[in-house]
Chains A and B, each alone.
Chain A
Amino acid sequence: MVRVMAEDVFKALADPTRRRILDELAERNGQTLFEICARLVTKHGLSLSRQAISQHLAVLESAGLVVARRQGRYKFHDLNTGPLEHIVTRWLTPEAPESSP
């Protein structure tokens, strides 16, 4: 289970656009899809369709790095750093499960 989650996290982080999305959410949590798109286009000059960005968000969500939160009629996206701590402790702490032989 942990191994599968780690796979998803590495895959999600392998894409530069998805890393940009995480950068922007780190700057301000709780963004709508509209705000994320606006930031990627105006700050980073990425010419991506809203649909493409939506798909990137779905990958980040399935890796647990982004959590979509419904609030009334709105949908906000929050950064979740939990999965990152998992993959980092793998090499930093000797007692982590995946580092044992």
Chain B
Amino acid sequence: MKIYITSVFVDDQEKALRFYTDVLGFVKKHDIPMGEARWLTLVSPDAPDGTELLLEPSGHPAVQPYKTALVQDGIPAASFAVDDVRAEYDRLRKLGAEFTQEPLEMGGATTAVLDDTCGNLIQIVHTGTE
């Protein structure tokens, strides 16, 4: 068994697509109309056949309270690996991204947490062992 897809609940799929591609740097893999919403997935440009990220609509009534509570406590909905957290932090800040946690080194890993503008926090991480 392997993980082929993981998802984040986004408030607005089109807005999320722009943020996750134009700002974070992922590329679109699938975009299939599904009623009012889309089956919209992304991949890393380095791994076009790798794990996909599904930008899932936030329509279910349980989703908003769940997201609100996580964001209030600073808890990320997803975690993405980067080569250099400080460099990504600087790059994303220049593009207007808002961080709730500045780069922090701890236990061999460096992490930072930013807002995806669609109701989630995203962690970027470098584990040093890569």
Chain A residues close to B by CB (< 8 Å): 28, 31-35, 38-39, 42-43, 50, 73-76
Judging by beta carbons under 8 Å apart, are A43 and B107 in contact?
yes
Does B101 touch A at the CB level, under 8 Å?
yes
Expressed in whole angstroms, the Cα–Cα distance for A32 and B111 within the complex equals 14
Interchain CB contact under 8 A, A38 and B104:
yes
Decide if B107 touches A75 in the complex (CB within 8 Å).
Answer: no
Q: How far is the CB of B128 from chain A (nearest CB, A)?
A: 13
**Which residues of B approach A to under 8 Å, CB–CB?**
68, 71-76, 100-102, 104, 106-107, 109, 111, 113
Q: A32-B113, A34-B113, A73-B68 are in contact. Are A39 and B74 (CB under 8 A)?
A: no
A-B contact number at CB 8 A: 47
Q: State whether A39 touches B104 (Cβ < 8 A).
A: yes
Does B101 contact A35, Cβ atoms closer than 8 Å? yes
- CB < 8 Å: which of A28, A39, A50 contacts B73? A50
Given the complex, which residues of A lie within 8 Å of B107, measured CB to CB? 42-43
B74:A75 contact, CB within 8 angstroms? yes
Q: Is the beta-carbon distance between B72 and A31 smaller than 8 angstroms? A: no
**B107 (CB) vs chain A CBs: closest residue:** A42
Verify A31–B73 contact, CB threshold 8 A. no
- A33-B73, A74-B74 given; A38·B68 CB < 8 A: no
Contact A38:B76 (CB < 8 A) given known A32-B100, A73-B71: no
* B74 with A33: CB separation less than 8 A: yes
Closest to B73 in A: A33
Q: How far is the CA of A76 from the CA of B100 in the complex (A)?
A: 8
Would you give 29 A-B contacts (Cβ < 8 Å), ordered by A?
A28-B104, A31-B74, A32-B74, A32-B75, A32-B100, A32-B101, A33-B73, A33-B74, A33-B75, A34-B74, A34-B75, A34-B76, A34-B113, A35-B74, A35-B101, A38-B104, A38-B106, A39-B106, A42-B107, A42-B109, A43-B106, A43-B107, A50-B73, A73-B68, A73-B71, A74-B72, A75-B72, A75-B73, A76-B100
